[in-house]
Structure 1
Amino acid sequence: MLQPVVEPVAPDLLRSLREHVHERLRRAIVAGRFRNGERLNERQLAEMLGVSTTPVKDAIRKLESEGLVRTEARRGVFVEFSARQALEMALGRAALESVMAHIAANRLTEADEHALARLIAEMEQATEHGDLEDLVALNEAYHRAIHRISGCTYLERRLDGQRMYDHAQRIALHSQADERRRGFEEHRDIHEALRARDPALAELRMRRHIVRSGKAHVRLVFGADAEGLDYDE
């Protein structure tokens, strides 16, 4: 087998400038760095990002299709991301992932159980050491593993549109030690329900975990603007 004479290009570098600009603006909006209703100036954004206005315009078109900005004729582009919208996204994710956890509990194999146990052990280690980057990656791998076990490819595709929100939420929440610990405990409880092959309990724990963390993120990002928003299970 031929040995490579040059190192492979990192996957991140294969992405276009437009994709990078889109991701950065999208993540900034979801993280609350722009207020709901705030007008976006394309030239200022281009200067902040160190790019021309062309990729910024392209990114704004994508953000509009995702429902994160709106364009008003002769007025400009405005952020469209409120506390209520963020909570609705969390509720939508909770509905889908709780069903997938229910199905995964019925389909769990011994190999799946071992794979989840390894992830839980690694998550505990990352939680204890406060390794934010590793913890977020493991968190996402854990949820993806449950999606895979469920075999619900249709439901997984429905989640694709808000993965950027989920990622931004995890980064924000896991920067806090109390939230890291609580999140790990909830993931461990979900794992125990899956190991017990208890679909109703796995569904309940997954829904409660996502709703609670979603509400925590809304309070963190929107502060007083989140007051009055609630969801009772």
Structure 2
Amino acid sequence: MFPAEATLAPLDAMAVAGLREHVHRALRQALLSGSFAPGARLNERAIAEQLGVSTTPVKEALRLLEADGLVRTKPRSGVIVNFDFAWAEEMILARAAIESTIARLAAQRIAPEDKPVLAQILTDMAQATAESSADDLVRLNEAFHGHIRSVARANYLRLLNDRQDVYDSGARRVIHSDPAERQRGLEEHTAIGRAVIAQDADSAEAAMKAHVLRAGESYLDLVFRKNKD
């Protein structure tokens, strides 16, 4: 079941600069991790109290989230959670299209000095998988995809992709706690990385698309199907 009321951790009081972005990030992660049920009404004052901030950055963050389509303002009802299974599924499909294009560009544009870096990440992922280190795999997963995006030098696509990213570190950690998931992830990342290093654009694109779609199904199981049990 979705929790009756989400609990948000207070923000660091030292993080005054960019407070709106901190609130935006905290609320976005809470939404994408299923902390708020679809259709739930968000109480701005309660959220501000939990985060330890005033209602002003909360209102600003909610406006940003509405621009992303994750929430909506309903007359006489306030701010309502718009993020649901269908919305998440569309985000994953969009991410698969964008990430696979980025992987194609990475294979076409990778510089010789970038290849050993990517190969080392794959080696580290294999070791972390063998050691069942979920925390290391979360970090390496982010490093792997970050390096692919970096060598692709596709700034516009990276901006688009950021809006479709449904994963936070918590969701990745839960997913990587499953031994079968860890092994599948290693095999998929290895196929992507080898294709990029070999500058095989077609294979890199296909492997990335398959990986994002398959991982997306695991995310949907974790956040939505599990919450229905």
Same fold by TM (over 0.5)? Answer: yes
Aligned residue type for 2:82: E
Residue-by-residue CA offset, 1:113-161 (whole Å, 9 max, x unaligned): 1110111122223333344343222212211211222222222222132
Letter in 1 for 2:196: L
- The residue matched to 1:78 in structure 2 has which SS? strand
Match of 2:75 in 1: 73
Deviation of residue 13 (structure 1)?
4.2
- Cα distance in 1, alignment partners of residues 26 and 130 from structure 2: 29
Quick one: distance in 2 between partners of 1:148 and 1:52?
37
Aligned to 1:195: 197
Query: C-alpha separation between the residues in 2 aligned to 1:211 and 1:219?
Result: 13
Q: Distance in 2 between matches of 1:53 and 1:153?
A: 33
Residue number in structure 1 paired with 2:168? 167
Q: Return closer, same or farther for 1:190/1:14 CA change in 2, 3 Å cut-off.
A: farther
For 1:42, the aligned partner's letter is E
The answer for the alignment partner of 1:3 in structure 2 is: none
Which range is displaced more, 15-24 or 60-69? Answer: 15-24
Deviation of 1:72 after TM superposition, in Å, equals: 0.9
Aligned to 2:154: 152
C-alpha distance in structure 1 between counterparts of 2:52 and 2:16, whole Å: 19
Show the 5 A alignment for 1:85-100.
Answer: 85-100=87-102
Question: What whole-Å deviation, never above 9, does each CA across 1:82-114 have from its counterpart, x for those lacking one?
Answer: 111111111111111112212222333332211
Matched, 1:27 2:37: no
Q: In structure 2, what is the equivalent of residue 138 of structure 1?
A: 140
Displacement of 1:33 after TM fit? 1.0
Which residue identity is paired with 2:18? S
The residue aligned with 1:7 is: none
* 2:44 corresponding residue in structure 1: 42
2:212 pairs, out of 190, 207, 210, with 210
**Structure showing greater Rg:** 1
- Matched to 1:214, the amino acid is G
Q: Give the share of equivalent positions with the same residue, in percent.
A: 46
> What's the offset of the Cα at 1:23?
1.4
TM-score by length of 2: 0.83
Matches of 1:183 and 1:192, distance apart in 2: 14
Give how far 1:225 is off: 8.2
* Per-residue deviation, 1:185: 1.6
14 and 114 in structure 1: CA distance in 2 versus 1, 3 angstrom threshold: farther
Unaligned runs of 5+ in 2: 1-13
RMSD: 2.3
